[in-house]
Chains A and B, each alone.
Chain A
Amino acid sequence: MAEYERYEHDVLVIGAGGAGLRAAIAAAERGARVGLVCKSLLGKAHTVMAEGGVAAAMGHVDDRDNWQVHFADTMRGGQYVNNWRMAELHAKEAPDRVRELEAWGAVFDRTPDGRILQRNFGGHRYPRLAHVGDRTGLEMIRTLQDHAIHKGIDVHMEVTIVQLLKDGDRVCGALAYDRERGRFRLFAAGAVVLATGGIGRAFSVTSNSWEYTGDGHSLAYAAGAELMDMEFVQFHPTGMVWPPSVMGILVTEGVRGEGGVLRNSLGKRFMFDDIPDNYKNQTADNEEEGWRYTQGDKTARRSPELLTRDHVARCIQREVREGRGSPHGGVYLDIAWIKERIPKAEEHIKRKLPSMYHQFMQLANIDITKVPMEVGPTTHYVMGGIRVDGDSQMSTVPGLFAAGECAAGLHGANRLGGNSLSDLLVFGRRAGEHAADFAATKRGGAASSESAATEAIRVALAPFDRGASAGAESPYAIQHDLQKMMQELVGIVRVEEEMSRALTGIAALRERAKRVGVYGNREYNPGWHTAIDLEHLLSVAEAVTRAAIDRKESRGGHFRDDYPDKDPAAGAFNIVLRKGGGGEMQMERRPIPAMPQYLKDIIEAQKA
């Protein structure tokens, strides 16, 4: 009896969020036979949660916007360690990718002249985010999903990849189990696209769902691919802080885009106190101007609440640490105040921010049209990921592609809001097309890795053998301890000594993970699933920690209390991690290639 069922595809796409769906559509349109695998049901991936919008320089609201400005904004937000080629392609192609969604049925909010409406967001110079109220991700994933189901793509829902398979250097497929029955599947493929999203579940306070265990990062790393920029984790400034069970759930930046302001317990708008030099020219220095900016006044400069996320998150952290926080350890985010400025403010808020209104009403008994919210930083996004070629999205392993949050490069040290959804579309499509082209030249090969598959199955089932026997560790307990440790020691403010302790802690947890035991049977058994995910979580936690120790400066999402300043020398390299021959994690500082003159000129021109 075969231990697994076998499936053949030209292109196997792992992940069905925005990036995976867009890649699958692109590959299918190139004529490839596509398999699309996801851990949850179709349409439930993380992308569904995105709220604020998708960034594309269409210039519908402010015609001064164009790809050059978007490019410069993205580079500055990323503190210039981005892959500039990706930033260029992204800024150029995003408008077409958004218009394409409209052609596939998406219904964005409209401008008065009937075009796609765009809103302000942190770090974007002009109103740039196409949106649908505060449920843009839902609109996007549903549009892609409804388009994809008519493309002849084979969808494998609730199927989890546990290992990539290789034929020599090249990736030739993957091994998976299905949640429902716990049976294994072997996918043979000419090319594989990873679109597995992020790693937020390595921390305890996060806006991310259970799926975010860094699978793609870890699968690629285990297969020999390089990871890059893993020290850059984005802590979103505004997550819910109360009640405890909703701690971390996101409060969209759109609240601030619509005029919401941050105040400390003294009622002060503390964001005016600390405006970084490189944003001074473009930031309002008084409340009146900030308000006019949020209301679309083109002569006004942006309010300081809309500075980049890393900066706003640290300012909030400072207020709390210095004793000016709200009762539950956050600060106040107030949108209700706009009733002083506009008529029918309550209706306006409910229309512009319906799911935020809903979320606070239902989960916290708070009416945001009447009283301020309490918010604090939450782990949100990982800029780091699989190192890829900017044009093709291929990793350093032939045949293995990556797109979306699990790939690195576009966002550098800090991602601007809205630049992820556009990232998924632009690079999802590119990855799908290039994977299809690659697969067209390669065939089969998975036969050679059958012994690898058998071994992977043995490892995956081992927790059952240990069962709940004496000395067996609970997967939930290990996961919980890891999250807590990462939150405390490698979180928003980092120091060497704490991170070294984290490394020791990760090694100890790895030992415990070897003794993890689960009970019950293989059918829809969450204990078992959690046990399998542990390896991924431990790998990404180690990668984040090692890279964070090595970057001895503060930049973007990475803030070191022992090196609080930016070091120009450190701006010249990315940190790259790779699995060594003995299984150890190897690290290297890789120089960033020189930027071509025409891109440098754009950046200079936009600095004014």
Chain B
Amino acid sequence: MGETTFRVWRGERGKGDFADYRTEVGEGMVVLDAMHQIQAESAGDLAVRWNCKAGKCGSCSAEINGKPRLMCMTRMDELPAGEAVTVEPMRAFPHVRDLVTDVSWNFEVKKKVKPFKPRAPDAPDGTWRMQQEDVDRVQEFRKCIECFLCQDVCHVLRDHHKHDEFIGPRFFVHSAALEMHPLDVEDRVHELKETQGIGYCNITKCCTAVCPEHITITDNAIIPLKERVVDEFYDPVMKLVKLFRRKP
């Protein structure tokens, strides 16, 4: 494929600029390969977070040509040929260095979601019975690799910085996985409304669009949770959704 220019964000703690690197792009290469090649050739200290290089761990999240994506799953041949490729860190989290951001906020948020609490076992040997069709829905949510790309793209966090009042789409997915778990008996609806800010979500579906695991975050996780909230409380957006849905 020949040489390609990469415009890579370099800098520390928010300060920085793009630096241009040229490197040879071979068949089947992904953006993460290019970053590694640049490290080995000319920028040994280029900070990149990655782990599995197989789309399974959710470490290598970045913004490629402005879009939140996994570097290890973005093939060079799907980007416009002959044009420079920009690679930037996720913008919704504090910057550390180069392509690395501080995502620790997400780990703190997760602790605030009430953990799994199963009903009493169904069988005397302490086990449960669940049918496959009853767990299909939850298994979709449990595909999440915690890449936080959905958090990165959501305007409530990215533009409005509601990190203290809004847990973000990843943790709505997490809450949905718990709430819809056939065995779970905990109730998380009150917090979802009061402290976790589900009301801020106005169903733009940007999160769903970027999810590398193709989880239908908005339709399958957030809207059903909002419905549960509405059953107990009031949510202006949901009122509209309900009106809309009622039309033939």
Contacts of B45 in A (CB 8 A): 518-521, 525-528
Contact of A476 among B40, B49, B107, B130 (CB under 8 A): B40
Q: Does A102 contact B (CB under 8 A)?
A: yes
In the complex, which of the residues A40, A48, A147 has the most CB atoms of chain B within 10 Å of its own CB atom?
A: A48
> Does A180 contact B33, Cβ atoms closer than 8 Å?
no
Choice from A48, A110, A211, A250 contacting B131 with Cβ under 8 Å: A110
Residues from 139 to 169 in A contacting B, C-beta threshold 8 Å? 139, 142, 146-147, 149-150, 155, 157
Selected from A104, A150, A243, the residue in CB contact (under 8 A) with B29 is A243
Complex: how many Å from CA A524 to CA B10?
12
Q: How far is the CA of A115 from the CA of B46 in the complex (A)?
A: 48
Least Cβ–Cβ distance between A438 and chain B, in angstroms: 29
Contact residues in A for B145 (Cβ distance below 8 Å): 48, 138
Pair A358/B55 contact, Cβ less than 8 Å: yes
Whether B233 sits at the interface, judged by CB under 8 Å, is: no
Partner of B103, one of A41, A103, A363: A41
Tell me if B138 counts as interface (CB < 8 A to partner A): yes
A273 to chain B, nearest CB (A): 32
Report how far A146 CA is from B129 CA in the complex, Å: 22
CB neighbours (8 Å) of B132 from chain A are 109-110
Digitize B113-154: 1 where CB-to-A-CB distance is under 8 Å, 0 elsewhere: 001101001000011111110010011001111100000000
State whether the Cβ of B226 lies closer than 8 Å to any Cβ in chain A.
no
B158 within 8 A of A: no
In the assembled complex, how far is the CB of residue A210 from the closest CB belonging to chain B, in whole angstroms? Answer: 7
Interface majority SS on B: helix, strand, loop or mixed?
loop
- Tell me the count of chain B residues lying within 8 A, CB to CB, of chain A: 60
Once the chains bind, are A40 and B51 in contact (CB under 8 Å)? yes
Output the nearest chain B residue to A468 by Cβ-Cβ distance.
B44
Question: Smallest CB–CB gap between A524 and chain B, Å?
Answer: 4
Say yes or no: A243-B59 contact (C-beta < 8 A), given A107-B138, A150-B115, A157-B104: no
CA distance A566 to B4 in the complex (A): 52
- Within 8 Å of chain B (Cβ to Cβ): is A132? yes
Given known A115-B127, A209-B51, contact A242–B104 (CB-CB < 8 A): no
Q: Which residue of chain B has its CB nearest to the CB of A48?
A: B57
- Is residue B39 contacting chain A, with contact meaning CB distance below 8 A? yes
Q: Is there a chain B Cβ closer than 8 Å to A487's Cβ? A: no
Contact with B along A470-505 (1 / 0, CB 8 A): 000011110010000000000000000000000000
A49, A155, A474: the one contacting B57 at CB < 8 Å is: A49
B204 to chain A, nearest CB (A): 25
**A362–B27 CB distance below 8 A:** no
Centre residue among B46, B131, B142 by max chain A CB count within 10 A: B142
Contact A359 B55 (CB under 8 A): yes
Q: Is the CB of B135 within 8 A of A146?
A: no
B63 at the interface (CB under 8 A from A): no
A107-B181, A109-B132, A115-B129 given; A363·B28 CB < 8 A: yes
Chain B min CB distance to A181 (Å): 9
Render B90-121 as a binary contact track against A, CB cut-off 8 A, 1 for contact: 00000011101011100100110001101001
| Contact indicator per residue, chain B 28-39, by CB within 8 Å of chain A (1) or not (0) | 111001000001
Contact of B73 among A244, A363, A474 (CB under 8 A): A363
CB distance from B214 to the nearest CB of A (A): 9
> Chain B contacts of A355 at CB under 8 A?
55-56
Q: Mark B70-102, 1 if CB is under 8 A from A, else 0.
A: 000101000000000000000000001110101
Given contacts A110-B131, A180-B102, contact A103 B118 (CB under 8 A): yes
User: What's the least CB distance linking A207 to chain B, in Å?
Assistant: 8
**In the complex the two chains form, what is the Cα distance from A446 to B130 in whole Å?**
50
A44 at the interface (CB under 8 A from B): yes
**Cβ of B12 to closest chain A Cβ, rounded Å:** 7
Chain B, residue nearest A133 (CB): B139
Q: Decide if B21 is an interface residue (CB 8 Å cutoff).
A: no
Binary per-residue interface labels of chain A (449-482) against chain B in the complex, 1 for a CB within 8 Å, 0 otherwise: 0000000000000000000000000111100100
Distance in angstroms from B27 CB to nearest chain A CB is: 5
| Residue A364 CB within 8 A of the other chain | yes
Contact indicator A113/B129 (Cβ below 8 Å) = yes
B135 engages A362 (CB within 8 Å) = no
Please tell me if the beta carbons of B116 and A146 are within 8 angstroms of each other in the complex.
yes
B98 engages A524 (CB within 8 Å): yes
* A249 interface contact, C-beta 8 A: yes
B26 at interface, CB cutoff 8 A: yes
Confirm or deny: A245 has a beta carbon within 8 angstroms of a beta carbon on chain B: yes
* Contacting residue for B115 out of A107, A146, A525, CB 8 A: A146
Q: Please tell me if B188 contacts chain A, counting CB pairs below 8 Å.
A: no
> Once bound together, how far apart are the Cα atoms of A107 and B132, in whole Å?
10
Query: Which listed residue (A138, A520, A524, A528) contacts B100, Cβ 8 A?
Result: A524
Indicate whether A31 reaches chain B with its CB closer than 8 angstroms. Answer: no
With A150-B115, A476-B39 already in contact, the answer to whether A364 and B28 are too (CB < 8 A) is yes
Q: A44-B51, A49-B56, A146-B110 are in contact. Are A245 and B115 (CB under 8 A)?
A: no
Contact of A526 among B30, B47, B110 (CB under 8 A): B47
Q: Tell me if A42 is interfacial: C-beta within 8 Å of chain B.
A: yes
**A311 on interface, CB distance cutoff 8 Å:** no
Cβ–Cβ contact A363 & B75, under 8 A = yes
A37 to B127, CA, bound (A): 33
Contact B51 A474 (CB under 8 A): no
Which of A150, A363, A520 meets B111, CB within 8 Å? A150
B53 within 8 A of A: yes
Q: Name the A residues within 8 Å of B144 (CB-CB).
A: 142
Residue numbers in B under 8 Å from A138 (CB-CB): 56, 142-143, 145
Collect the chain B residues with CB atoms within 8 Å of residue A254's CB. none
A contact residues around B44 at 8 Å (CB)? 474-476, 518-520, 526-527
- Least Cβ distance of A179 to chain B in Å? 8
Q: How far is the CA of A448 from the CA of B110 in the complex (A)?
A: 39
Closest Cβ–Cβ distance, residue A268 to chain B (whole Å): 28
Q: Evaluate contact between A41 and B55: CB separation under 8 angstroms.
A: no
| Chain B residues whose CB sits within 8 angstroms of the CB of A526 once the complex forms | 39, 44-48
Residues of chain B lying within 8 A (CB to CB) of residue A49: 52, 54, 56-57
Contact of A245 among B33, B39, B104 (CB under 8 A): B33
Residues of B within 8 A of A363 (CB): 28, 30, 73, 75
How many Å from the CB of A551 to the closest CB on chain B? 32
For residue B116, which residue of chain A has the nearest CB?
A: A105
In the complex, chain A residues whose CB is within 8 Å of the CB of B107: 41-42, 149, 155, 157
A280 within 8 A of B: no
| B118 in contact with A359 (CB, 8 Å) | no
Q: Contacts of B104 on A, CB cut-off 8 Å? A: 157
CB distance from A351 to the nearest CB of B (A): 10
On chain B, the residues within 8 Å of A44 by CB distance are 51-52, 57-59
* Contact of A210 with B51 in the complex, beta carbons under 8 Å: yes
- Verify if B178 is at the interface (C-beta below 8 Å from A): yes
Measured CA separation A48–B55 after assembly (Å): 10
Q: Give the shortest distance, in Å, between B54 (CB) and chain A (any CB).
A: 5
Q: B50 interface residue, CB < 8 Å from A? A: yes
Minimum CB–CB distance from A359 to chain B (whole Å) comes to 7
| Cβ contacts A to B, 26 pairs, < 8 Å | A41-B49, A44-B59, A46-B52, A48-B56, A48-B57, A103-B121, A103-B126, A105-B184, A107-B142, A109-B132, A110-B131, A132-B139, A133-B139, A138-B56, A149-B111, A245-B29, A249-B54, A476-B44, A518-B44, A518-B45, A519-B44, A519-B45, A521-B45, A524-B97, A525-B47, A527-B39
The 6 closest A-B pairs by CB, nearest first: A243-B28, A520-B45, A114-B129, A527-B44, A105-B116, A524-B47
